[in-house]
Amino acid sequence: MSKPVKGFSKLTKEEKINWLADHYFSDKKNGIALLMQYWNEDAKLQQLHDEFIENTITNFYLPLGVAPNFLINGKMHTIPMAIEESSVVAAASRAAKFWLKRGGFKTFVKGTEKIGQVHFLYEGDKTKLNTFFETIKPLLFSKTTDITRNMAKRGGGITNIELRDKTEALDNYFQLHCTFNTLDAMGANFINSCLEQFARCLKDEASQYDLFTDGEKDIQIVMSILSNYVPDCTAVAEVRCKIDDLDEDKELAPHAFAEKFVRAVAIAKAEPFRAVTHNKGIMNGVDAVVLATGNDFRAVEAGVHAFASRKGSYSSLSDAWIEGDEFVFNIELPLALGTVGGLTKLHPLVKLSLEILDNPSAEELMQIVAVAGLAQNFAAVRSLITTGIQKGHMKMHLMNILNQLDATPEEKAHFTAFFKDRTVTHSDVIREFYAYRENMIK
């Protein structure tokens, strides 16, 4: 067991690694060599990665793949995806190919409003607080001019500030609920800077407000922070086609396919246990594109799952229905994304991923990400109602199992062919692998 360490962040990279090796590695030499194996040979590029976070010891790689053939609003896209799960890129690509022949994906942005809040405590007359807020509201805008000037020149900035009474939820709790348009930036730093200025102005002006008693003048600022819940910053993606065109699955006739698909999505809308896994599949596609484009997938995840619960029960993010002789499948997702700032100008692969997407605006990226989520969901539900999820998933997982077994290139080729028309299970692969090796030895 190691002892607490003081000043760890001040150690050099090599000193940090040596400390880890001394306290945690069972094989110090090989452990250090493994860390160094993942360093970039280009020292400048490695330094760039080292400075993304604190206490960097190496790089943790994820595969970056692409899913081609996405027709979105009449324009072809190849979508970059950073993810470790074996079947995701393949599933997205299959869905893209399926809908390419049926008119592609249609998308639009419903809104781009982002939210931040100043949380504070006030003990006093609520009527006076309301009057005070209306008095200082113009000042809140003017005090942030230095922060908002450049954003405002491009058409963005602060769109509104409201005083909200939250005392039913918590004694003496109020908030400034603020909305923003941050254009092509995700805008976290911009929003938080504005909020902190609002908080200073609120407290300073309250201390001098003549209508407040001494106790009322002491407004207690708790915190100022953006919200990752953005229900009015959403993108919608949809596919639709004639039911008769749903004719690629041998297991089900087109009308039976459509009805079973709609029923499967309805179950995810009604049953939270199913909805969680249903939405996880959507986020396989969403997170992979969000990560590839240098955006914050944790923030997106948090906001999306809150959105899925907005009606009081956790439910499917996607919907499907039959409209006359057409099958319709759509999704609406809250997506606070940026294409400028942050990693978009720092990480070389993020810049390249955005270039693959033809350097989209934030609104365009929102729509692309929504499409990735819808495509992933279509592929998953389609598998579930036809062949089952494991057939395709385990086919893609086969190579992972073979790598765990240290299979040779010849063995990989053999078992890829062997399982071409068979259902892959972990136990079957293990059994057949060792039987094959034993037979080869004989």
* Catalytic residue annotation: 85, 280, 296, 393
Q: Six-digit token pair at 62? A: 């994820």
Alpha-carbon gap, residue 242 to 328, rounded angstroms: 9
Q: What is the CA radius of gyration of the chain?
A: 27
The answer to whether 314 touches 276, Cβ cutoff 8 Å, is yes
Q: Give SS3 for 21.
A: helix
> How many beta carbons lie within 10 A of that of residue 2, not counting itself?
9
Which residue, chain included where needed, has tokens 């604190």? Answer: 54
- For the chain, how far is it from start to end, CA to CA, in angstroms? 48
Q: Which residue from 170, 114, 100 is spatially nearest to 375, judged by alpha carbons?
A: 100
Alpha-carbon gap, residue 342 to 339, rounded angstroms: 9
Alpha-carbon gap, residue 404 to 112, rounded angstroms: 45
The single-letter DSSP state of residue 32 is H
> How many beta carbons lie within 10 A of that of residue 127, not counting itself?
9
Query: What is the b/e burial string over 14-34, where b = at least 16 CB atoms within 10 angstroms of the residue's CB?
Result: eebbeebbeeebeeeeeebee
